[in-house]
Amino acid sequence: MPPDNLTRLSIAEAGDLLRRRALSPVELTRAYLDRIRRLDPDLLAYITVLPDEALAAATAVEQEIARGQYRGPLHGIPIALKDLVMTRGVRTTCGSRILRDWVPDADATVARRLADAGAILLGKLNMHEFAYGPTGVNPHYGTCRNPWDRHRIAGGSSSGSGVAVAAELAAGALGTDTGGSVRIPAALCGIVGLKPTYGRVSRAGVIPLAWSLDHVGPMTRTVTDAALLLQVLAGRDPADPTTSAVPVPDYRRALQGEVRGLRLGLPKDLFFERVDPEVRIAVQAAARSLEGLGAVVEEIPLPKIHHAGPASFAIIASEAMAYHEPYLRARAEEYGEDVRARLTTGQFVLAHQYLKAQRARQVIRAEVDAALTRVDALLTPTTPVPAPRLDERELTVEGVTEDARWWLIRCTRPINLTGHPALSVPCGLTAAGLPIGLQLVGRLFDEATLLRLGHAFQAVSPARDLRPPLNS
């Protein structure tokens, strides 16, 4: 099979071939490394590539499988990690100058769980500096280019993860999500991105942006692949006291569940206000597709969701400042201008404002919980706009002009505040050939229903086989 055909395989497809020894882990890893060598100098998805280490790991995996020591569907699968996930013996920069040469002496829990499952680490991925921004613009390592249009952003902060998966530079990747940083690049790059429930996946060994809002999640080309990664990542971790002991279901089996009769809510408040017309049309078409599969779609009110923006800002600004204060005192000049400016605003958020934001958070979460007693999931755009140009600082939609960053996080940020799981699935392209994302939001710890809905939709969606127009 030609190398580029190998990288088109989903994780599930490649895993089945590896299990049957119809595909060599070394051959698959070489195919990805070759594609990285050819395409990444232009796309800038990676900060660190590990060719020698990856091939050595692939050789060891091949020998294990030959001995009958098959570990599961990720055994021999080449993946990559956002560069704020600690990796023992491999530098972890957080996309910053400050940590440019930092080499951790331990793995993050999620990195260790993937390694224990037999996944092969290709390298560490580019990102918005310290995860503090939704665009992926990085003055230190270069800004990732969207593989659908190199003049446009990939989204952030998990920009490298979105590009690597979309451009087939990794079979799957991990990102982190504090205000949408898994789902935004997933939507703008035309892939699947899952933000699990807060507490479902360990954050031990993952450099924080805001402790009470951060989530770690998989980014893949199919919903099935996201389920396979989540199966390995999910579960209680003594090293992270925020993780939950709620039992982890069989996510792959859940994909085959019935969609007919599931109720989906369209929250018009905030999510469908001031949306690019092409995005609105694509999301509405996705809702009709799910109706065609037997789901019931109805409009629901969420009036308090409008308070999510100010509450989220106060929490992120305060918690990010608390983590970065020592660096800001000693090495402020090493931050990029935009991140330094955003961090310093945290100095001006007062304690009573932070506490009010946390109280508002509880009210908003209760409203979403109440809505999810009436419906099984919410359905919204992931982002109200497609990928902006690299030089676009403001966007105008339906006569309203706002900072591009504001548009990007508007539909994702509230779900970090509430902690509910959310899945972004590609649902079409604009006339200019830019991906559009559909966001599904579920009940706490009910990722299984989201994956079932996303899998059913992806099976009938015209966007399921779309690939960026790369010159490979």
Backbone angles phi, psi at 296, to 5 degrees: -110, 125
Residues tagged active-site: 82, 157, 181
The residue type of 98 is: I
Neighbouring CB atoms inside 10 A of 238's CB total: 9
Residue type, 60: A
Contact 437, 404 (CB under 8 A): no
Q: How far apart are CA 427 and CA 281, in angstroms?
A: 10
Taking the C-alpha atoms of residue 345 and residue 108, their distance in angstroms, rounded to an integer, is 29
Q: Which of 180, 169, 88, 190 is nearest to 126 (CA)?
A: 169
Asked if 426 contacts 463 with a C-beta cutoff of 8 angstroms, the reply is yes
Rounded Cα–Cα distance for residues 203 and 445 (Å): 16
Q: Tell me how far apart the alpha carbons of residues 405 and 221 are, in angstroms, rounded to a whole number.
A: 25
Angle, vertex CA 24, rays to CA 19 and CA 27, nearest 5: 145
Which residue, chain included where needed, has tokens 């395989």?
A: 9
Tell me the two tokens of residue 463. Answer: 């966007």
Q: What's the CA gap between 252 and 119, in Å, rounded?
A: 18
